[in-house]
Chains A and B, each alone.
Chain A
Amino acid sequence: MDEENLRARSVQRTRWMECAQRGDREAYGALLTDVASPLLRFLRRWIADPHELEDVHQDTLMALHRARHTYDPSRPFEPWLFAIARHVAVDHLRRRASRTSREVLVEALPEPGTDADPGNPRLEEALDRLPPAQREAFEMLQLEGISVAAAAARVGITTGALKVRAHRAYKALRALLGG
């Protein structure tokens, strides 16, 4: 796309946004549809995983929606748009890094204790009090004895997320069983 087309498109986006700020739904819809693909292309430079990319893309559109009152039509639209997109992407990567570091902490799952006997009435009672996702993680790993990878695949989450659920379940059970 040549320089002139890019400029014309930018002017069009500015007009759409100006109308959207006044409550024009049609203009807003046109703007969001128009920027969706360039945003996705921009975010793809930061995030490779398609599921994560979709999440961040949607977060960016939500952030754009929340910040639309800050756009000044006398200034170019794209720096405003991509500053928001960069912020959402960096925020996502930062949170992912922090989550990953927490997952490392639970890399080694604790050994089941003597209380982890399926027939133990105290354990059953304690398991009933756990949130369903944590209970499921505990049951798969400690009672059924399947691997972390297989358990994660069964419930459709990452192994890291499964370990976090299991770790929380152990902590809760330890507290409930007074261990």
Chain B
Amino acid sequence: MADTTTPVPTASTRALIKRLEDEAAPVRRLWAPLARLGLWLIFVALVGGAVGVSGVRPDLGERLRDPVYLLEITALALASMVMATRALQEAVPGYDVRWPARGLALGLVSLTVVLWFRQPMHGQVTVTQFIATGVGCAARTVLLASLPWCALLIGVRLGAPLAPARAGALAGGAAFLMAALLMRLVCPLHERLHLLVWHGLPVAGGTALSAVIGLVWLRRWRARPPP
């Protein structure tokens, strides 16, 4: 039979409560996830602006009239924003998410991968050419992701993430998907292997690395005072 008696805190717990009460300094309340998402999108817009200034692919106007290309960049943008929102919600304990965010993000990422698989393969490209053209794309993806990634990790760290690895993975996924989207506005290549290896793998690697960083760096909220 379950014990239904009301337990009483011990004397040392009551002393702790008194001490915590004495330490109750005003705190700066964490912004709501959507407000922090808005701020993050400003960082993304800054990076997007820099991409626009440095030059987009020459056929962008033409590509934007292609519904498959539009579907691809829309899926990348939505997946990135869904993951960013979830990462920021992870910073709030017990945040009740009433929509299937993870399923939606996974679906959108899968859609992008399917669309990349539907791109033609250029068999005449040598391995050296494949690497020479691809390394630049991978490096630029990492570069473009770095600012939104750091901003998102800091945004999560300001809270109290109870699942730090998951929060880190979501932050990394969001930043690298946004970078992959920006790279699709820059890189003129429409080749299946190029997209999967040099645009897709940095997203997967960045997400995994971010999960590890999250596990190490985001779990320490219990050891530091609130802002």
Number of interface residues of A (CB under 8 A): 38
Task: Judge if A52 is at the interface, Cβ distance under 8 Å.
Answer: no
Contact for B13 among A36, A44, A75, A84, CB less than 8 A: A36
Q: Which of B26-34, B146-154, B185-193, B197-205 contacts A (4 or more CB under 8 A)?
A: B26-34
Q: List residues of chain A with CB within 8 A of the CB of B226.
A: 65-70
Q: List residues of chain B with CB within 8 A of the CB of A37.
A: 6-9
Task: Judge if B218 is at the interface, Cβ distance under 8 Å.
Answer: no
| Closest residue on chain A to residue B31 by CB atoms | A72
From residue 59 to 100 of chain A, which have CB atoms closer than 8 A to chain B?
61-63, 65-72, 75, 79-84, 87
B6 to chain A minimum Cβ distance, whole angstroms, is 5
Q: Which of B15-23, B117-125, B209-217 contacts A (4 or more CB under 8 A)?
A: B15-23
Q: List residues of chain A with CB within 8 A of the CB of B6.
A: 37, 41
Cβ contact within 8 Å between A61 and B13: yes
Task: Judge if A148 is at the interface, Cβ distance under 8 Å.
Answer: no
**Interface CB pairs A-B, < 8 A, 27:** A22-B26, A23-B25, A23-B27, A24-B24, A25-B21, A28-B21, A28-B24, A29-B18, A36-B14, A37-B6, A37-B8, A40-B9, A58-B13, A58-B16, A61-B20, A67-B159, A67-B222, A67-B226, A70-B30, A70-B93, A79-B96, A80-B93, A80-B94, A83-B93, A83-B162, A84-B94, A84-B160
Cβ contact within 8 Å between A58 and B159: no
User: A26, A36, A66, A69 — which one has the most chain B CB atoms within 10 A of its CB?
Assistant: A69
User: B22, B93, B162 — which one has the most chain A CB atoms within 10 A of its CB?
Assistant: B93
Q: List residues of chain B with CB within 8 A of the CB of A66.
A: 160, 221-226
Interface string of A11-42 (1 = CB under 8 A from B): 00000000011111110110011001100110
Q: List residues of chain B with CB within 8 A of the CB of A62.
A: 16, 20, 222
Q: Size class of B's contact patch?
A: 35 or more
**Interface majority SS (helix, strand, loop, mixed), chain B:** loop
Contact for B27 among A25, A63, A69, A82, CB less than 8 A: A69
Q: List residues of chain B with CB within 8 A of the CB of A33.
A: 17
Give complex CA distance A44, B8 in Å.
12
Chain A interface residues toward B at CB < 8 A: 20-26, 28-29, 32-33, 36-37, 40-41, 44, 54, 57-58, 61-63, 65-72, 75, 79-84, 87
